[in-house]
């Protein structure tokens, strides 16, 4: 993962007056996300590379100088996403701390921890379900985890909050989180043909675009039209009448 916060990025040619997150998928290589943001210095944009480990984007380790980081980001944009690079020829970092690089291993952990003194703790959010940021589900999942735990606490009343309750409470959250994890891991893999067809169709068919976008709020719906080629094809056929 490699992030650069910049000023001076040009507008999207097709939507010059509309801010949006834009994802560029480079199969087998990784993704470039371009995201509008607000910083202490005002409006800015984020250039965010996510690279397959060991691949051509996995070159930021050991890069400490922010200017070198930005230059490397732009070099990779010119190579793999020249349409985005064309917007970025005049960018500069928002400040000397405007870069970040690192690695992130998706992990689902044991939700209950035991303290040295024997007490128990229940993990919350990405302490226990850590997904890759490719689908932007971190804050969504944390909010949904908090809501699920709160409901479990209120319903439990004055009974002991023991290990059995903790595990049952996590299992309640997992009913939501499992769909986030499945979708996120699927997006990390090279997209199969039916997914490429779905994304292509979403560029032409508003209902397909809306349903894919709404999956960010409810990833469980991807079971119905995303993972299985037959379901994907049936869904697209229902929109086109084919």
Residue 39 main-chain phi, psi, to 5 deg: -125, 180
Given a cut of 70, whether residue 181 has pLDDT beyond it is yes
Domain boundaries, the chain: 2-101, 107-188, 193-240
| Tens of pLDDT, residues 115-170 | 999 999 999 999 999 998 888 898 889 999 999 999 999 999 999 999 999 999 99
Classify domain 2-101 at the CATH class level: alpha beta
CA-nearest of 192, 145, 203, 186 to 169 is: 145
Question: Span 107-188: which CATH code?
Answer: 3.50.50.60
The neighbour count for residue 5, using CB atoms within 10 Å, is: 23
> What pTM, to 2 d.p., does this model score?
0.82
Cβ partners under 8 Å of residue 99, min gap 6: 2, 3, 4, 5, 66, 69, 70, 93
Residue 147 main-chain phi, psi, to 5 deg: -65, -40
């Amino acid at each position: 993962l490699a992030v650069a916060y910049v000023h001076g990025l040009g507008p999207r040619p097709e939507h010059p007056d509309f801010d949006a997150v834009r994802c560029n998928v480079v199969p087998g290589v990784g993704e470039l996300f371009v995201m509008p943001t607000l910083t202490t210095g005002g409006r800015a944009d984020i250039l965010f590379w996510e690279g397959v480990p060991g691949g051509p984007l996995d070159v930021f380790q050991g890069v400490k100088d922010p200017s070198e980081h930005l230059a490397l980001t732009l070099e990779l944009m010119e190579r793999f996403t020249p349409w985005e690079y064309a917007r970025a020829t005049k960018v500069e970092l928002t400040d000397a701390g405007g870069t970040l690089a690192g690695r992130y291993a998706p992990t689902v952990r044991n939700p209950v921890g035991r303290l040295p003194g024997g007490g128990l703790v229940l993990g919350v959010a990405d302490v226990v379900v850590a997904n890759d940021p490719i689908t932007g589900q971190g804050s969504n999942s944390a909010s949904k985890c908090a809501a699920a735990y709160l409901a479990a606490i209120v319903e439990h009343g004055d009974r002991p909050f023991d290990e059995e309750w903790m595990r049952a409470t996590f299992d309640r959250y997992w009913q939501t989180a499992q769909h986030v994890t499945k979708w996120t891991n699927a997006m990390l893999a090279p997209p199969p043909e039916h997914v490429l067809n779905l994304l292509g169709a979403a560029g032409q068919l508003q209902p397909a675009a809306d349903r894919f976008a709404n999956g960010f709020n409810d990833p469980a719906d991807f079971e119905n039209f995303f993972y299985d080629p037959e379901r994907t094809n049936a869904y697209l056929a229902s929109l086109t009448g084919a």
